[in-house]
Amino acid sequence: MRVLMVCLGNICRSPMAEGILTNSAKENGVSIEVDSAGTGNYHVGENPDPRAIATAKKFGVDISDLIARQFKKEDFQQFDHIFVMDKSNYDNVIRLAQSNSDRQKVRLYLSLIPSFPLEEVPDPWFGGPEGFVEVFQMLNKATDAFLEEIKDVK
Ligand code: 4NP
């Protein structure tokens, strides 16, 4: 199974989501491939934001080597699940879909958490370090929910 995490810049939210799912899947003995991408091209080729790297590291997740890339329509062929962080990401990804099967792969990541108060992962880019910790924790929760969802699927 292949999973793609998508945000705007691919330097804050989606690389943290990629790192968390990679780690948690490994810990749970689940074999999946995880990648991330941004709908924008502003940060292509860059490592994650230093605040994202530091926050993930605090929780034992190393994302320092990830490199930002832009989402492309071919990703629909490569991935089984495409998780977007907010509705704007959703619209931008859906715009590149070419079939219902493509569209069905795309979901808001927080929609996996039963009765969670937020639909969108807030963009921590403009805030302080505490925003990154909050984002990390909600991504962690969504990741647990995803692993629960796929636990009987082989
Ligand atoms: P991300 O955060 O989408 O979580 O990676 C952002 C990073 C950079 C920008 C916006 C959001 N930016 O405008 O450069």
Q: Is the CB of 15 under 6 A from ligand 1?
A: no
- Rounded to two decimals, the pTM is 0.97
Ligand 1 nearest atom to the CA of residue 7, by list position: 3
Amino acid residing at 144: D
- List b or e across 52-88, with b for residues whose CB sees 16 or more CB atoms inside 10 angstroms: bbebbeeeebebeebebbbbeeebbeebebbbbbbee
pLDDT tens digits along 30-46: 999 999 999 999 999 99
Q: Is the CB of 51 under 6 A from ligand 1?
A: no
pLDDT more than 70, % of the chain = 99
- pLDDT tops 60 at residue 148: yes
Nearest CA residue ID for atom 12, ligand 1? 9
CA 149 to chain centre: 16
Per-residue confidence (pLDDT) for residue 98, from 0 to 100: 97
- Which residues are part of the catalytic machinery? 7, 13, 123
- pLDDT tops 70 at residue 116: yes
pLDDT tens digits along 70-114: 999 999 999 999 999 999 999 999 999 999 999 999 999 999 999
- Per DSSP, the three-state class of 13 is helix
